[in-house]
Amino acid sequence: MRDEALLERLTQLWGVSGYEKLVREAIAEEVKPYADKVWTDPIGNLIAFKKGRGEKKIMYAAHMDQIGFMVKNIEENGLLRICNMGWNWAGSAYNERVLFRNGTVGVVGCYGPIEEAENKIEKLFVDIGAKDRDDAKRMVKIGDCCGYFGPYLHLAGGQICSKSLDDRLGCYQLIASLRENPGDLPNDIYYCFVVQEELGCRGSKVAAQQVLPDIGIAVDITPAHDYPNDLTGANKVGDGIAIKICDPSVVADEDVTDAMEQLCVENHIPYQREVIDRGGTDASSMNLTGDGVRTGGICVVTRYPHSQSSVVAPEDIEAGIDLMNAFSARSFDF
């Protein structure tokens, strides 16, 4: 990989949706030496601009936020009642550790059998080891958020296993592609590190309104279908970068996907076509900006998404950067 230490560092940063500050600060330091202009907008998006010859404005969006939970009540016995910050699966959270930004650690438990929780997050609680409500209040306030944490590891097959690959791997890909942007490309490129994707693609909506791109590309993960689970489709880990064709939130622009496929063939970049019938990405909000934006997605196929143990293939991540570089360097005739 180009810079696996950077990817590992990004995955380990704390940044639950709406509270992406630590991630934003780390990325700002990485992009400043390479971009012509870097700014943060009022909602918290970080945008790095690299000038080209101005043929098209291309916007890449990767989200900085990770899914998590927010404390909505503190029980008399010191247990924390929580609500979702993004889509969580109760079965994945159960008995797992969570980390608050102030360093407080908790364990997720369930009021009753987890099998009967039916994915209702209100059946879960976080146990921070407090004696009672007053003790808990010394460590955590109503409105504080917690998220998964845990080490970045490799499986025996070489795959990466970590929390928050969704979407710190997209942030890593944007940084890597910016570093390799020679500065004389046909297109002006906006590398947008956006907030609150997991809450409904809020940051990218605002970023796209500022940039008003000709082409908007979401750089994110997508669920795998190559292991036993409740999703069906063709996405396989290690089979190449996934070119988004369609998800419930967007139909990718045909000319954009054709160009991507052609570039993969010409440059010997392994790729797969991605269709999913659950989920969505920042492509949806870019697509519906201004007069409408031609939109696509570059996605890394991920097992166990939205868990503390997501699994991806490093070669898929690198293929995504190769595709971004080729796409940025292309002249478009539409």
Residue 93 beta carbon to Zn ion: minimum distance, rounded to whole angstroms: 17
Q: Which is nearer to Zn ion, 166 or 274 (CB)?
A: 166
Residue 282 beta carbon to Zn ion: minimum distance, rounded to whole angstroms: 8
Q: Which is nearer to Zn ion, 30 or 166 (CB)?
A: 166
Give the binding range for Zn ion (CB under 5 A) out of 32-40, 104-112, 161-169, 287-295: 161-169
Q: Is 166 in the site for Zn ion (CB under 5 A)?
A: yes
Q: Which is nearer to Zn ion, 22 or 265 (CB)?
A: 22
Residue 314 is encoded by which pair of tokens? 């490093």
Residue 305 beta carbon to Zn ion: minimum distance, rounded to whole angstroms: 8
* Residues with Cβ within 8 Å of residue 213, at least 6 apart in sequence: 56, 57, 58, 59, 190, 286, 289, 293
Residue 167 beta carbon to Zn ion: minimum distance, rounded to whole angstroms: 4
Q: Which is nearer to Zn ion, 282 or 318 (CB)?
A: 282
User: What is the total count of residues that contact Zn ion (CB under 5 A)?
Assistant: 3
Site for Zn ion in 87-126 (CB under 5 A): none
Q: Is 144 in the site for Zn ion (CB under 5 A)?
A: no
Residue 123 beta carbon to Zn ion: minimum distance, rounded to whole angstroms: 25
Give the binding range for Zn ion (CB under 5 A) out of 80-88, 133-141, 159-167, 241-249: 159-167
Q: Which is nearer to Zn ion, 7 or 74 (CB)?
A: 7
Give the separation between CA 328 and CA 57, rounded to whole angstroms: 10
Site string for Zn ion, 201-220 (x = CB under 5 A): -------------------x
Q: Is 167 in the site for Zn ion (CB under 5 A)?
A: yes
Residue 31 beta carbon to Zn ion: minimum distance, rounded to whole angstroms: 20
Query: Is 315 noted as a catalytic residue in this protein?
Result: no
Question: Which of these, 272, 173, 181, lies nearest to 217 by C-alpha position?
Answer: 173
Give the binding range for Zn ion (CB under 5 A) out of 51-59, 166-174, 207-215, 259-267: 166-174
Give the binding range for Zn ion (CB under 5 A) out of 83-91, 167-175, 246-254, 323-331: 167-175
Residue 165 beta carbon to Zn ion: minimum distance, rounded to whole angstroms: 9
In the chain the first and final C-alpha atoms are separated, in Å, by 34
Distance of CA 331 to the CA centre of its chain: 28
Q: ω before 167 within 30° of 0 (cis)? A: yes
Q: Is 274 in the site for Zn ion (CB under 5 A)?
A: no
Q: Which is nearer to Zn ion, 167 or 318 (CB)?
A: 167
Strand order in the sheet with 160-162: 153-154, 160-162, 310-312
Catalytic residue among 20, 30, 197, 274: 197
Question: Which of these, 51, 50, 298, 334, lies nearest to 170 by C-alpha position?
Answer: 298
Give the binding range for Zn ion (CB under 5 A) out of 14-22, 40-48, 132-140, 165-173: 165-173
Q: Which is nearer to Zn ion, 144 or 167 (CB)?
A: 167
Which of the residues are catalytic? 197
Q: Which residues bind Zn ion (CB under 5 A)?
A: 166-167, 220
